[in-house]
Amino acid sequence: MSKNIQELSNILSLENEKDFIEDFFHCLLTPAEIADIDRRWDLVKALWKKTPQREIAQKLGISLCKITRGSREMKKDNSAFLRMLHKYEDYIDFSKFN
Protein backbone atom coordinates (compact mmCIF):
# COMPACT_ATOMS: atom_id res chain seq x y z
CA MET A 1 0.00 0.00 0.00
CA SER A 2 1.12 3.53 -0.71
CA LYS A 3 2.82 5.27 2.20
CA ASN A 4 0.74 8.39 1.56
CA ILE A 5 -2.51 6.40 1.57
CA GLN A 6 -1.46 4.90 4.91
CA GLU A 7 -0.64 8.33 6.28
CA LEU A 8 -3.93 9.86 5.11
CA SER A 9 -5.89 6.86 6.41
CA ASN A 10 -4.28 7.26 9.83
CA ILE A 11 -5.01 10.99 9.92
CA LEU A 12 -8.62 10.63 8.72
CA SER A 13 -9.29 7.88 11.23
CA LEU A 14 -8.56 10.42 13.97
CA GLU A 15 -10.88 13.09 12.57
CA ASN A 16 -14.48 13.29 13.79
CA GLU A 17 -15.73 16.31 11.84
CA LYS A 18 -17.35 15.05 8.63
CA ASP A 19 -17.60 18.58 7.14
CA PHE A 20 -13.86 19.05 7.63
CA ILE A 21 -13.13 15.68 5.95
CA GLU A 22 -15.38 16.57 3.02
CA ASP A 23 -13.70 19.98 2.69
CA PHE A 24 -10.31 18.25 2.77
CA PHE A 25 -11.32 15.96 -0.13
CA HIS A 26 -12.52 18.96 -2.14
CA CYS A 27 -9.14 20.63 -1.58
CA LEU A 28 -7.15 17.49 -2.41
CA LEU A 29 -9.08 16.31 -5.48
CA THR A 30 -10.14 17.96 -8.72
CA PRO A 31 -13.84 18.13 -9.59
CA ALA A 32 -13.27 15.35 -12.17
CA GLU A 33 -11.60 13.13 -9.55
CA ILE A 34 -14.47 13.73 -7.13
CA ALA A 35 -16.99 12.84 -9.86
CA ASP A 36 -15.04 9.65 -10.58
CA ILE A 37 -15.06 8.66 -6.89
CA ASP A 38 -18.80 9.42 -6.75
CA ARG A 39 -19.43 7.09 -9.71
CA ARG A 40 -17.24 4.35 -8.26
CA TRP A 41 -19.03 4.48 -4.90
CA ASP A 42 -22.37 4.40 -6.74
CA LEU A 43 -21.04 1.34 -8.57
CA VAL A 44 -20.25 -0.41 -5.28
CA LYS A 45 -23.70 0.43 -3.91
CA ALA A 46 -25.38 -0.81 -7.08
CA LEU A 47 -23.50 -4.10 -6.94
CA TRP A 48 -24.49 -4.44 -3.27
CA LYS A 49 -28.15 -4.00 -4.29
CA LYS A 50 -27.70 -6.71 -6.97
CA THR A 51 -28.36 -4.26 -9.81
CA PRO A 52 -27.60 -5.94 -13.16
CA GLN A 53 -24.23 -4.90 -14.59
CA ARG A 54 -25.67 -3.63 -17.88
CA GLU A 55 -28.14 -1.44 -15.96
CA ILE A 56 -25.27 -0.06 -13.86
CA ALA A 57 -23.28 0.71 -17.02
CA GLN A 58 -26.22 2.53 -18.57
CA LYS A 59 -27.27 4.42 -15.44
CA LEU A 60 -23.77 5.49 -14.33
CA GLY A 61 -21.94 5.66 -17.66
CA ILE A 62 -19.32 3.21 -16.40
CA SER A 63 -17.63 0.59 -18.56
CA LEU A 64 -18.38 -3.07 -18.01
CA CYS A 65 -14.65 -3.55 -17.29
CA LYS A 66 -14.83 -1.23 -14.25
CA ILE A 67 -18.03 -2.91 -13.11
CA THR A 68 -16.41 -6.33 -13.40
CA ARG A 69 -13.41 -5.09 -11.41
CA GLY A 70 -15.73 -3.81 -8.68
CA SER A 71 -17.61 -7.08 -8.67
CA ARG A 72 -14.35 -9.03 -8.31
CA GLU A 73 -13.29 -6.82 -5.41
CA MET A 74 -16.57 -7.55 -3.64
CA LYS A 75 -16.03 -11.31 -4.05
CA LYS A 76 -12.63 -11.27 -2.32
CA ASP A 77 -12.30 -12.76 1.13
CA ASN A 78 -12.46 -9.94 3.68
CA SER A 79 -13.42 -7.41 0.99
CA ALA A 80 -13.02 -3.84 2.22
CA PHE A 81 -16.07 -2.89 0.14
CA LEU A 82 -18.23 -5.46 1.89
CA ARG A 83 -16.86 -4.61 5.33
CA MET A 84 -17.63 -0.92 4.73
CA LEU A 85 -21.13 -1.66 3.43
CA HIS A 86 -21.95 -4.00 6.31
CA LYS A 87 -20.52 -1.68 8.93
CA TYR A 88 -22.21 1.51 7.70
CA GLU A 89 -25.26 0.24 5.81
CA ASP A 90 -27.60 2.39 7.93
CA TYR A 91 -25.74 5.55 6.83
CA ILE A 92 -25.55 4.80 3.10
CA ASP A 93 -28.02 6.21 0.58
CA PHE A 94 -29.13 3.40 -1.73
CA SER A 95 -32.13 5.28 -3.17
CA LYS A 96 -30.61 5.50 -6.65
CA PHE A 97 -30.72 1.69 -6.91
CA ASN A 98 -34.11 0.71 -5.49
| Domain range summary for the chain, segments of one domain joined by + | 3-97
Would you say the pTM of this structure is higher than 0.85? Answer: yes
| DSSP string for residues in 19-80 | HHHHHHHHHHS-HHHHHHHHHHHHHHHHHHTT--HHHHHHHHT--HHHHHHHHHHHHSTT-H
Can you identify the CATH homologous superfamily of domain 3-97? TrpR-like (1.10.1270.10)
Successive 10-residue mean pLDDT values, the chain, 98 residues: 92 95 97 96 96 95 94 94 95 88
